[in-house]
Amino acid sequence: MNSADTDSFTCTLPWRTRNHYHLLVDGDQFFPRIMQAVDAATSAVDVEMYLFESGGIANQMIDHLLAARQRDVYVRLLLDHVGSHNLNHSDRDRLRNAGVDLRFFNRVKRHKQLRNFSRDHRKIVLVDCAVAFIGGAGVTDAFSPRHHGERAWHDAMVEIRGELVHDWQLLFERTWQHYDAIHDEELRAKLKRAFDLPQAAPLMNRGIPQARIVASRGLGHKPILGSLLSEIKKSSQRVWLCTAYFYPSRKLLKALRKAALRGVDVRLLLPGDHTDHPSVRYAGRSWYRQLLEDKVRVFEYQPRFLHLKTALVDDWVTIGSCNFDRWNLHWNLEANLEALDPALNQPVQIMLEQDLRASKEITLTSWKRRSWHEKIRERFWKWVAVFLARLPND
């Protein structure tokens, strides 16, 4: 992929000041809100999604999208080719036959070789250029307590209204334009008006509630990690990091350990036994000892699979699709919302406090007593993960 292609997927957009957020925790909160917004659409619905799998939730979402098409709403659906492999052909036909513009990111083909690893891991829903939903969840029954019961995956989406929506729309357009131009003149005019927002508050100002989008595309472009590292290095009170897949870079490990040693409250909130990738969990656990020795507190979430991706560093929060792990940062399209705004910071803090209470803290004493076969699994999967992370992505 050439540099022009990379630039279309990677950006750090300006700080915006006039925004409203609603943190939606778990599928029984965010799925109804997303579908209500689609029902209210009058001109356009755009969806960029990694996981989109046939089932009860996908059926509901498709029904709402088709109802929007019947109102002559322009619907675009950009799905990752791997993440949507469980979307069956009858569902794809339903969408296309109704006039939904359906595209698949980076179709897997033999001649692409290692480039097939590059995936669109973003989760974005946009309605009428007026409301955005972003976060870490997919359109699949796994996130729905109604369909998956008490073991439904734990995640969150943020509903956004205000200036930031135009930037999420711009991010979607950049990826969409990789495939096709917008031929609808009326929609093109509406998007242009949305993109003409003034570049307010271009620089971080901790005295003003504000937020921005940071997006990455691997290939050495890691602005999401760069922002996180910068905030950790400046932290004075807390660093709470929650991720579904803990396979950290050396820089992140060093920053966490140094922050803890200077007295910052550093906590890692990670999945427990419930996970869709046990191998990744074992690889990540290989770093527990050195973190615990340097005063980092480690918690494993017990009730179900923790799929959440967020960090709370003093008064700064980041939340979105990125797991902060080497694989995601090496290969994937990712997008996170960064905010210096109590309107988002406080709900995220409350959510994480609840999750920490539902977690088991790993102490250095208990960690030293783990069995020898656990140690072997950790070392083996760490070696595999290191090998995969070093694969070239050019």
Q: Cα–chain-centroid distance for residue 200? A: 25
Its sign, for the CA torsion 386, 282, 119, 135, is negative
Those residues whose C-beta lies under 8 Å from the C-beta of residue 346, and which sit 6 or more positions away, are none
Q: Which domains are delineated in the chain?
A: 19-162+164-195 (3.30.870.10), 210-389 (3.30.870.10)
- Spatial distance between the Cα atoms of 216 and 310, rounded to a whole number of angstroms: 16
Mind listing the pLDDT tens digit of every residue in the chain (394 residues)? Answer: 443 344 444 567 889 998 999 999 999 999 999 999 999 999 999 999 999 999 999 999 999 999 999 999 999 999 999 999 999 999 999 999 999 999 999 888 888 877 777 789 999 999 999 999 999 999 999 999 999 998 999 999 999 999 999 999 999 998 888 655 455 565 556 555 544 544 444 567 778 899 999 998 755 567 899 999 999 999 999 999 999 999 888 999 999 999 999 999 999 999 999 999 888 888 889 899 999 999 999 999 999 999 999 999 999 999 999 998 776 777 788 999 999 999 999 999 999 999 999 999 999 999 988 877 787 887 787 777 667 666 555 4
Residues near 56 by beta carbon (within 8 Å), at least 6 away in sequence: 141, 144, 146, 147
Question: For residue 381, which amino acid is it?
Answer: W
Beta strands in 136-195 (DSSP E): 156-162
Structure tokens at 255: 């920053």
* Calpha distance 163→132 (Å, rounded): 11
Which tokens sit at 20?
A: 């409203």
Q: How far apart are CA 249 and CA 160, in angstroms?
A: 31
Of residues 306, 288, 285, 286, the one with CA closest to residue 297:
288
Task: Take residue 197 and report the two structure tokens written for it.
Answer: 């927002």
* Predicted TM-score of the model (pTM): 0.90
Phi then psi dihedrals of residue 166, to 5 deg: -60, -35
HSE at residue 180, side-chain half, CA atoms within 13 A, is 11
First-to-last C-alpha distance (Å) of the chain: 7
Listed residue (240, 289, 284, 298) closest to 265, CA to CA: 240
| CB-neighbour burial class of residue 52 (10 A; exposed 0-12, middle 13-18, buried 19+) | buried
